Structure 1
Amino acid sequence: MYGSQVPRTVCSCLAVLTSLVLSTPATSHGAPVSAEKPATHKIDFEKSVRPLFVKHCQDCHGPDAREGGLRLTSRKNILLRNDSGEPAIIPGNSKESLLLHRVSSRDESEQMPPADAGTRLTQQEIQTLKQWIEAGADWPTESEEPKHWAYIPPVKSPLPEVNSSFRINNAIDAFVAKKLSQQTPPLAQSPQASPARLLRRVSLDLIGLPPSPEDVIAFEKNPSPAAYEKYVDKLLKSPRYGEKWARQWLDLARYADSNGFQADQLREMWLYRDWIINALNADLPFDQFTIQQIAGDLIPKATLDQKIATGFHRCTTCNVEAGVDPEENRVNQIFDRVNTTGLVWLGSTFECAQCHNHKYDPFSQQDYYQIFAFFNNTPLEVKQLGKSVTFEVTGPKLAIPLAKEELKTREQLTAERLALQKQLNQRQKDLKTAWSEWEETTLALLENSEEAGKIPANVRKSLRTEAEKRTKKQTTALTQYQQQQDAEYTDLDQKLSQVREQLTALEPDSTLVMVEMPEPRMNNIFKRGDFLSKGAAVTPRTPDALHPLKTNATPDRLEFARWLVARENPLVARVTVNRWWAQFFGHGIVATQEDFGSQGDAPTHPELLDWLAVEFMDHNWSMKQVHKLIVMSATYQQSARITPELLEVDPYNKLYTRGPRLRLSAETIRDNALTISGLLSTKMGGPPVYPPQPKGLWRHVGRNAPKYLTSTSEDRYRRGVYVIWRRSAPYPSFTNFDAPDRGACVINRSRTNTPLQALTLLNDPAYVEIGVGLAKRLATKGLDSDMTDRERIKYAFRLCVAREAKPIEVDHLTKVFEQELKYFQDHPQAAQKLIAADDRPEGVGASRMAAWLYVANILLNLDETITKG
Structure 2
Amino acid sequence: MYGSQVPRALYAGLSLISALTLSAWSASAAPAPADKPAAGAKIDFEKSIRPLFVKHCQDCHGPDAREGGLRLTSRKNLLLRNDSGEPAIISGKSDQSVLMHRVASKDDSEQMPPADAGERLTAQEIATLKQWIDQGADWPTESEEPKHWAYVPPVKQPLPKVKGTPRVNNAIDAFVVKKLQQQKPALQQAQLAEPARLLRRVSLDLIGLPPTPEQVAAFEKDPSPAAYEKYVDSLLKSPRYGEKWARQWLDLARYADSNGFQADQLREMWLYRDWVINALNRDMPFNQFTIQQIAGDLMPDASLDQKIATGFHRCTTCNVEAGVDPEENRVNQIFDRVNTTGLVWLGTTFECAQCHNHKYDPFTQQDYYQIFAFFNNTPLEVKQVGKSVTFDVTGPKLMVPLSKTAQQQKDQLTKERLALQKQLNQRQKELETGYPAWEEATLALLENSEEGSKVPDKIRKILNTKTDKRTAKQTKALNAYQREQDPDFAALTEQLNEVRQQLNALEPDTSLVMVEMDKPRMNNIFKRGNFLDKGAQVKPQTPESLHPLQAEDTPNRLAFAKWLVAPENPLVARVTVNRWWSQFFGQGIVATQEDFGSQGDPPTHPALLDWLAVEFMEHNWSMKHVHKLIVMSATYQQSSKITPALLEADPYNKLLTRGPRLRLSAETIRDNALAISGLLSTKMGGPPIYPPQPQGLWRHVGRNAPKYNTSTEEDRFRRGVYVIWRRSAPYPSFTNFDAPDRGACTINRSRTNTPLQALTLLNDPAYIEIATGLARRLATHGMNDGMTDRERIAYAFRLCVARQPQDVEVDHLTKVFEQELKHFEDHPQAAQKLISAKDRPEGVGASRMAAWLYVANILLNLDETITKG
Same fold (TM over 0.5): yes
Equivalent residue number for residue 846 of structure 2: 846
Residue identity in the other structure for 2:483? Q
Instruction: Find the counterpart in structure 1 of residue 797 from structure 2.
Output: 797
2:504 aligns with: 504
The Cα offsets for residues 59-105 of structure 1, whole Å up to 9 and x where unpaired, read as: 11111111100112111111010000000000010000011111111
Q: Deviation at 1:473?
A: 3.7
Counterpart for residue 524 of structure 2:
524
The aligned residue for residue 859 of structure 2 is: 859
Alpha-carbon offset, residue 805 of structure 1: 1.0
SS of alignment partner, residue 116 of structure 1: helix
What is the distance in 2 between the residues matched to 1:330 and 1:13?
A: 26
Q: Hey, what's the Cα distance between the residues in 2 that align with 1:367 and 1:736? A: 39
Work out the CA distance in 2 between the residues paired with 1:782 and 1:451: 66
Residue deviations 1:614-654, cap 9 Å, x none? 00000000000000000000000000111111111111111
Which stretch shifts more, 97-106 or 744-753?
Answer: 97-106
Query: SS at the partner of 2:511?
Result: strand
**How is 1:579-618 mapped onto 2 (pairs within 5 angstroms)?**
579-618=579-618
Question: Runs of at least 4 residues of structure 1 off by over 6 A?
Answer: none
Q: Shift of the alpha carbon at 1:118?
A: 1.8
- How far apart, CA to CA, are the structure 2 residues paired with 1:799 and 1:468? 80
1:13–1:68 contact (8 Å) kept in structure 2: no
Matched, 1:569 2:569: yes
- Render the CA deviation track for 1:566-619: whole Å, top value 9, x for unaligned: 000000000000000000000000000000000000000000000000000000
Range moving further from structure 2, 550-559 or 235-244: 550-559
Name the structure 1 match of 2:651: 651
Paired with 2:565 and 2:703, the residues of 1 have a C-alpha distance of 43
With normalisation by structure 2, the TM-score equals 0.96
Q: Report how far residue 177 of structure 1 moved.
A: 0.4
Q: Which residue of 2 aligns with 1:31?
A: none
Check whether the contact 1:292–1:310 (CA below 8 A) recurs between aligned residues.
yes
Higher alpha-carbon deviation: 243-252 or 98-107: 98-107
1:528-539 superposed matches below 5 A: 528-539=528-539
TM, length-normalised to structure 1: 0.96
Asked whether 1:272 is paired with 2:272, we answer yes
1:12, CA displacement in angstroms? 5.2
User: Are 2:701 and 1:726 equivalent residues in the alignment?
Assistant: no
**1:242 aligns to what?**
242
Distance apart, 1:229 and its partner CA: 0.3
Shift of 1:17: 2.6
Q: Which amino acid aligns with 1:343?
A: L
Equivalent residue number for residue 129 of structure 1? 129
Q: CA deviation at 1:18?
A: 8.8
Residue pair 1:347, 1:575 contacting (<8 A) in 2 also: yes
Partners of 1:39 and 1:306 in 2: CA distance: 66
Equivalent positions of 1:288-327 (< 5 A) are 288-327=288-327
Aligned to 1:685: 685
Correspondence for 1:434: 434
CA offsets, 1:257-276, max 9 Å, x none? 00000010000000000000
Instruction: Spell out the pairing of 1:36-51 with structure 2 (5 A cutoff).
Output: 39-51=39-51
Task: Report the 3-state secondary structure (helix = DSSP H, G, I; strand = E; otherwise coil) of the residue aligned with 1:569.
Answer: coil
* Whole-Å separation in 1 of the counterparts to 2:396 and 2:849: 53
* Residues 37 and 448 of structure 1: CA distance in aligned 2, closer, same or farther (over 3 Å): farther
Q: What residue identity is the alignment partner of 1:717?
A: F
Report the secondary structure of 2:380's partner residue. Answer: coil
Cα distance, 1:38 vs structure 2: 8.2
Contact 1:155 1:611 in 2 (8 A): yes
Look up the equivalent residue of 1:851 and give its one-letter code: A
For 1:95, what is the secondary structure of its paired residue? helix
Once the two structures are TM-superposed, the CA of residue 450 in structure 1 deviates from its matched residue by 2.0
Q: Which residue of 1 aligns with 2:737?
A: 737
What aligned pairs does 1:85-484 form with structure 2 within 5 A after superposition?
85-484=85-484
Deviates further, 839-848 or 42-51: 42-51
> How many Å apart are 1:7 and its aligned residue?
8.7
Deviations 1:425-472 (A, max 9, x none): 111111111112212222222222222232222222222222233334
Aligned amino acid, residue 309 of structure 1? A
Alignment match of 1:9 (pick from 7, 10, 33)? 7
Q: CA deviation at 1:126?
A: 1.4
What is the aligned length? 848
2:678–2:774 contact (8 Å) kept in structure 1: yes
Partners of 2:675 and 2:482 lie apart in 1 by: 56
Q: 1:15, 1:69 within 8 Å by CA — same for their partners in 2? A: no
Q: Hey, what's the Cα distance between the residues in 2 that align with 1:780 and 1:480? A: 58
1:296-352 Cα shifts (integer Å, max 9, x gaps): 000011111000000000000000001010000000000000000000000000000
Conserved in 1, the CA contact under 8 Å of 2:591 and 2:603?
yes
Counterpart Cα distance in 1 of 2:202 and 2:38: 74
Q: Quick one: distance in 2 between partners of 1:100 and 1:237?
A: 66
- Give the residue type in structure 2 aligned to 1:776: R
- Provide the C-alpha distance between the structure 2 equivalents of 1:227 and 1:620, rounded to a whole number of angstroms: 27
Provide structure 2 residue ranges, at least 5 long, that are not aligned to the other structure: 18-35
Q: Give the superposition deviation at 1:490.
A: 1.1
User: Which segment drifts farther, 141-150 or 572-581?
Assistant: 141-150
Question: What is the aligned partner in structure 2 of residue 700 from structure 1?
Answer: 700
- Once residues 11 and 604 of structure 1 are traced to their aligned partners in structure 2, the CA distance between those partners, rounded to angstroms, is 42
Aligned partner of residue 588 in structure 1, secondary structure = coil
Compared with structure 1, are the counterparts of its residues 486 and 15 closer, same or farther at alpha carbon in structure 2 (3 Å cutoff)?
A: closer
CA positional deviation for 1:474: 3.1
Deviation at 1:361, TM superposition (A): 0.5
Q: Which secondary structure state, in structure 2, belongs to the residue aligned with residue 295 of structure 1?
A: helix
The answer on whether the counterparts of 2:630 and 2:636 sit within 8 Å (CA) in structure 1 is: yes
- Contact 1:14-1:102 within 8 A present in 2 as well: no
**Aligned-partner Cα distance in 2 for 1:389–1:435:** 44
Q: Residues 95-133 of structure 1, C-alpha deviation per residue, up to 9 Å, x if partnerless?
A: 000111111111111111122212222222212211111
> Partner letter of residue 57 of structure 1?
C
Matches within 5 A, 1:45-84: 45-84=45-84
- Helix, strand or coil at the partner of 2:294: helix
In the TM superposition, what is the alpha-carbon distance from 1:554 to its structure 2 partner?
Answer: 4.6
CA distance in 2, matches of 1:691, 1:463: 51
Do structure 1's residue 549 and structure 2's residue 542 form an aligned pair? no
Q: How far, CA to CA, are the matches of 1:466 and 1:689 in structure 2?
A: 56
| Distance in structure 2 (CA, Å) of the matches to 1:298 and 1:531 | 27
Give the Cα–Cα distance (whole angstroms) in 2 for the partners of residues 296 and 712 of structure 1: 36
Q: Give the stretch that moved more between structures: 136-145 or 360-369.
A: 136-145
Q: CA RMSD in A?
A: 1.6
CA distance, structure 2, for counterparts of residue 10 and residue 449 of structure 1:
88
CA distance 1:143–1:485, shift in 2 (3 Å): same
The aligned residue for residue 28 of structure 1 is none
Q: 1:473 to 1:844 in 2, by over 3 A?
A: farther
* Counterpart AA for 1:725: W
Superimposed CA distance per residue, residues 778-814 of structure 1 (whole angstroms, 9 cap, x where no aligned partner): 1111122211111111111111001111111111111
Deviation for aligned residue 1:713: 2.1
Cα deviation for residue 15 of structure 1 reads 9.7
Separation (CA, whole Å) in 2 of partners of 1:13 and 1:814: 70
Deviation of 1:46 (Å): 1.9
Match of 1:626, SS state, is helix
Q: 3-state DSSP class of the match of 2:830?
A: helix
Deviations 1:171-203 (A, max 9, x none): 000100011111111110110000000000000
Letter paired with 1:768: I
Per-residue deviation, 1:163: 2.0
SS at match of 1:511: strand
Which whole-Å CA distance do the structure 2 matches of 1:151 and 1:14 have between them?
Answer: 34
CA contact (8 A) 1:15 1:68 kept: no
2:190 aligned counterpart, secondary structure: coil
Distance 2:238 2:552 in 1: 44
Q: Distance in 2 between matches of 1:695 and 1:503?
A: 31
d(CA) in 2 for partners of 1:383, 1:663: 44
Determine the C-alpha separation between the residues in 2 that align with 1:101 and 1:359. Answer: 24
Kindly provide the CA deviation profile for residues 204-226 of structure 1, in whole angstroms up to 9, marking residues without a partner as x: 00000000110000000000000
Q: CA deviation at 1:695?
A: 0.1
Alignment partner of 1:568: what SS? coil
